[in-house]
Chains A and B, each alone.
Chain A
Amino acid sequence: MSILLEMKDITKEFPGVKALDQVNLKVREGEIHAICGENGAGKSTLMKVLSGVYPVGTYDGEIHYGGALAQFRNLRDSEDQGIVIIHQELALIPELSIAENLFIGNERQSGGVMNWHETFRRTEELLRKVGLTEAPGTIVDRIGVGKQQLVEIAKALAKDVRLLILDEPTAALQENDSRKLLDLMLELKAQGVTCIIISHKLNEVRYVADTVTVIRDGMAVSTLDAKAGFEEDDIVRDMVGRDMSHRYPERTRFAGDLLLEVEDWNVWHPEHTERQVIRDISFNVRAGEVVGIAGLMGSGRTELAMSIFGRSWGRNISGKARLKGSAVDLGSVDRAIKAGLAYVTEDRKSLGLVLDESIKFNTTLAKLEGVSTRGVLDENAETEVAERYRKALGTRTPSVFQKVGNLSGGNQQKVVLGKWLFTGPEVLILDEPTRGIDVGAKYEIYSIINDLSAQGKGVVMISSEMPELLGMCDRIYVMNEGAFVGEMPASEASQERIMSLIVTE
């Protein structure tokens, strides 16, 4: 097979950092080429160089595309040559129809007047190609995320794509939607479209990829060929630069006294007041215990956590909460914090951090009274606290004065954890603590969780990744449609057992 794309010795420097260091990448015509690497390894930067977001001249090295030297000055240039990139965050406009979205910037028109017939006809054609049966006039907002992702691909096809780049396309998708998308990729491959997929999900990479290039610290460290055969562990090893025989750190398990008990918890939706979101949920956490809550997205896990944590979500909340055996008032966030509860949000960027501010600012935010006297902040004490948690959690950053917005996902999560540890909680509710974090950083977060349990704290862990729950928890509650449908010790749990509980209820 001929080489469609060759990137030679690509080096890209930002002030102070070398994001890419002599990276070489060869993509053959008609293959699916996966790029794996930890967050911050340089995958996205490499794709930005390729697609002209970083124009020619701002990087060193050469790009050969379709047999010629490519010098893209912007996205438009690369798109004209059939290179289309689909970003992690969808670029669809939710209020417009599928048809309008497909041809944005590429409208079927004559003299500035839209040709709606042509637009709709082409849309139907393209939707069929990606296996969607929706009407072209459907508003994008009304279809699920999985289908939106397929619409994105249809949009790429509308541009006569030759090289399709997907940046973590399944990050927000459910299992079966992911599968559909991957199958579509295989189909496109059969039609001669070359694909580059960036993904953290190694089982998916194994499923679709012909070749895998692993990038670490801005360098391409290895290229693996599917035909030669490779294991997920090979990729993981190359990504983190060490052998990862255990994905979950060892922990000596013990369960102490009861810490948090929640009884008959009921919550209604804040806007659709007739909808009950949480039904009669009771659970408990003991000191030193890691308790998991399994369930699909939308089963009400986050709503449960937030309603307990200072009634931050929902209305008509009823139920009893006890901490160490005595009733406790969790009526507002600050009272919940004082009572010894901490909630690490699922979405750290929009709910957990002030991105424009420093690590120091964020670390002390939930307990400013700990670094102030009579309302006046003590900058030195703040710096000390931030330093302490930076060291304890191994946050990789030049200093605590760094903006958290500039940190990688794993390091941001450590800042959030540091912030909550500083409040001195008894019970931590961790909502998807490893979402969007690479393998190496995940391991570190797991180790932190184990340390917490060793200190006798109670941990409630909400996660969509069942292997993670099975690997980390002592006990797992299974949640479905706002109610708990099962409880089991982790030793007796399996993915199949949890799934069957969810499905049969």
Chain B
Amino acid sequence: MTSESKGLKAYLSAHMRDYGLLFALIAIMAFFQIVTEGTLMRPVNITNLFLQNSYIIIMALGMLIVIVAGHIDLSVGSVMGFIGALAAVMIVNYDIPVAVTIPVCLVLGGLIGAAQGYWVAFWRIPSFIATLAGMLVFRGASLWLLEGQSVGPFPQSFQVLSTGFVADIFPQAMTSPIAEAVGARNFNLLALSVGAVASMVIIWLGLRGRARAKAYGIEGEPSAFFWGRNVIVLGALMFLTFKLSTFRGLPNVLVTMGILIVIYAFITQNTVIGRRVYALGGNEKAAKLSGIKTERLTFFAFVNMGVLAALAGLIFAARLNTATPKAGFGMELDVIAAVFIGGASMSGGSGKIVGAVVGAFIMGVMNNGMSIVGIGIDYQQMIKGLVLLAAVIFDVYNKQKQG
């Protein structure tokens, strides 16, 4: 074996998890694309996929931080339902303007997170118990608030939160020839341009990172892997944005979600506060003796989770155009599953935003694909459960092989 191929193999085995996750997503998408006879990748369905999973992904961002910090939040589904209910009552029943309702809901989400985080951080109540209590409380609170009824519909100004699309900035004269050429009714050039710009930024960041690593003599990703991975990721990105272009363009939710993913990936990987969260989850005592205010950090992880759960609640309610007492029921488990499929460790200290997002998409594509094929909800649950188990077994197996 040549030394280079040995290096490749060693690199692959050390990063099996990252590549495995990506390939699992691609394989699952390819599988359902075939069994649904192309329905999965139709522009309208892709749009749907994003809409359906946006709230899971948004909550997964917060959950990843909570889990990395060594905790768990079981209340997010209930909080999400509660905030959706509150928004409905405020807007529909009391005619409070949307522009007032949204900030109020987000702040209240933060307060709910604070109320739970307070006990976990400063009283050392196990987060499992504190948030299990929260889950029951807010499930009850939603019922109480809605008096057991569904409340809706929402005004258009609220619905756009979920179902709106970003209008094209390019003139019709430019886009209609393209629409004709690709055989679509209209073509949203903005969506495709955003895809192209995002691709360039990703490549630029990747190359810059590699150049830096090289300057420091760090052995980074082998170039074959770097390019292979980027071709796949960027190809997928361009493909998806092209598909979206031929439908109605970029959904508002996708934009919100995309921006949040970038922000949270940056916070977790490149900032002092992100680093401290990993230290807290990795070894709380050592973090504390290094001058890190671990209690405060834990507290804010829950506050952040509360805000994101509130945002998810608003988006969910806007999408369904009604708030129901059952909204968010069991959603926390989907969120937690996404984070664990994404490679986070139950004991804290490890896990990445990108992993959690891909994990959420794996679950989302499976849900969507199985529904299209017509697999019953009973089988869907069983299959999802087994996928979660398989992902975690894969993790543990990999760790043992390395250790």
Contact = CB atoms under 8 A, between A and B. Distances in A.
B288 A355 contact: no
B283 A377 contact: no
B5 interface: no
A366 interface: yes
A138 B119 CA distance: 37
Given A312-B289, A337-B291, A351-B286, A401 B10 contact: no
A317 to B, nearest CB: 16
B293 interface: yes
A15 to B, nearest CB: 7
Contacts of A380: 212, 215-216
Contacts of A337: 290-291
A383 interface: yes
B340 to A, nearest CB: 17
Contact of A368 (B10, B218, B272, B283): B272
A354 B271 contact: no
B253 interface: no
A408 interface: no
Interface in B89-122: none
B272 A372 contact: yes
Contacts of A365: 275, 279, 286-287, 290, 292
A82 interface: no
Nearest to A364: B275
Task: Count chain A CB atoms within 10 A of each CB in B218, B270, B272 and give the residue with the most.
Answer: B272
Contacts of A377: 270-272, 275
B218 A375 contact: no
A445 interface: no
B152 interface: no
A356 B272 CA distance: 18
A356 B285 CA distance: 14
Given A365-B279, A380-B212, A380-B216, A352 B289 contact: yes
A414 interface: no
Contacts of B275: 361, 365, 368, 377
B71 interface: no
Task: Count chain A CB atoms within 10 A of each CB in B215, B271, B275, B350 and give the residue with the most.
Answer: B275
Nearest to A344: B289
A354 B282 contact: yes
A351 B216 contact: no
B290 A355 contact: no
A379 B212 CA distance: 9
A356 B282 contact: yes
Given A15-B10, A343-B289, A350 B272 contact: no
A74 to B, nearest CB: 15
Task: Count chain B CB atoms within 10 A of each CB in A333, A343, A354 and give the residue with the most.
Answer: A354
Given A312-B289, A399-B218, A368 B282 contact: no
Interface in B292-309: 292-293
Contacts of B278: 354, 357, 361
Contacts, number: 85
Interface in B52-110: none
B272 A369 contact: yes
Given A310-B291, A312-B289, A345-B289, A353 B271 contact: no
A343 B289 CA distance: 8
B272 A351 contact: no
A374 B116 CA distance: 29
Task: Count chain B CB atoms within 10 A of each CB in A337, A351, A401 and give the residue with the most.
Answer: A351
B289 A353 contact: no
B350 to A, nearest CB: 7
Given A366-B291, A383-B218, A352 B286 contact: yes
A312 B287 contact: no
A234 B10 CA distance: 41
Contacts of B350: 356
Contacts of B273: 375
Contacts of B283: 350-351, 353-355
Contacts of B325: none
A336 B282 CA distance: 23
A350 B218 contact: no
Given A379-B212, A383-B218, A333 B272 contact: no
Nearest to B278: A357
Contact of A354 (B270, B272, B287): B287
B319 interface: no
Contact of A333 (B218, B271, B282, B291): B291
Contacts of A352: 286, 289
Interface string B212-231: 10011010000000000000
B349 interface: yes
Contact of A376 (B215, B270, B291, B349): B270
A401 B218 contact: yes
A264 interface: no
B276 interface: yes
A355 B270 CA distance: 20
A421 to B, nearest CB: 13
Contacts of A310: 291
Contacts of B276: 368
A154 B292 CA distance: 45
Contacts of A369: 272
A258 to B, nearest CB: 25
Contacts of A372: 271-272
Contact of A355 (B218, B272, B282): B282
Interface in A23-38: none
A337 B286 CA distance: 14
Contacts of B10: 15
Contacts of B288: 312, 333
Contacts of A309: 289
B272 to A, nearest CB: 4
Nearest to B10: A15
A32 to B, nearest CB: 33
Nearest to B272: A368
A376 B282 contact: no
Interface in A302-350: 309-310, 312, 332-334, 336-337, 343, 345, 350
Interface string A397-427: 0010100000000000000000100000000
Interface string A148-159: 000000000000
A368 B278 CA distance: 13
A312 B349 CA distance: 22
Contacts of A312: 288-289
B267 to A, nearest CB: 9
A375 B212 contact: no
Contacts of A401: 218
A369 B350 CA distance: 22
24 contacts: A15-B10, A309-B289, A332-B293, A333-B290, A337-B291, A345-B286, A345-B289, A351-B283, A352-B286, A354-B279, A354-B286, A354-B287, A355-B282, A355-B283, A365-B279, A365-B287, A365-B292, A372-B272, A375-B271, A377-B272, A379-B212, A380-B212, A380-B215, A380-B216
Interface of B: 10, 212, 215-216, 218, 270-273, 275-276, 278-279, 282-283, 285-293, 349-350
Given A312-B289, A351-B285, 6 more contacts: A332-B293, A353-B286, A365-B287, A368-B275, A379-B270, A419-B290
Enumerate the 5 nearest inter-chain pairs by beta-carbon distance, A residue then B residue, closest first: A354-B282, A334-B291, A366-B290, A333-B291, A368-B272
Interface of A: 15, 309-310, 312, 332-334, 336-337, 343, 345, 350-357, 361, 365-366, 368-369, 372, 375-377, 379-380, 383, 399, 401, 419
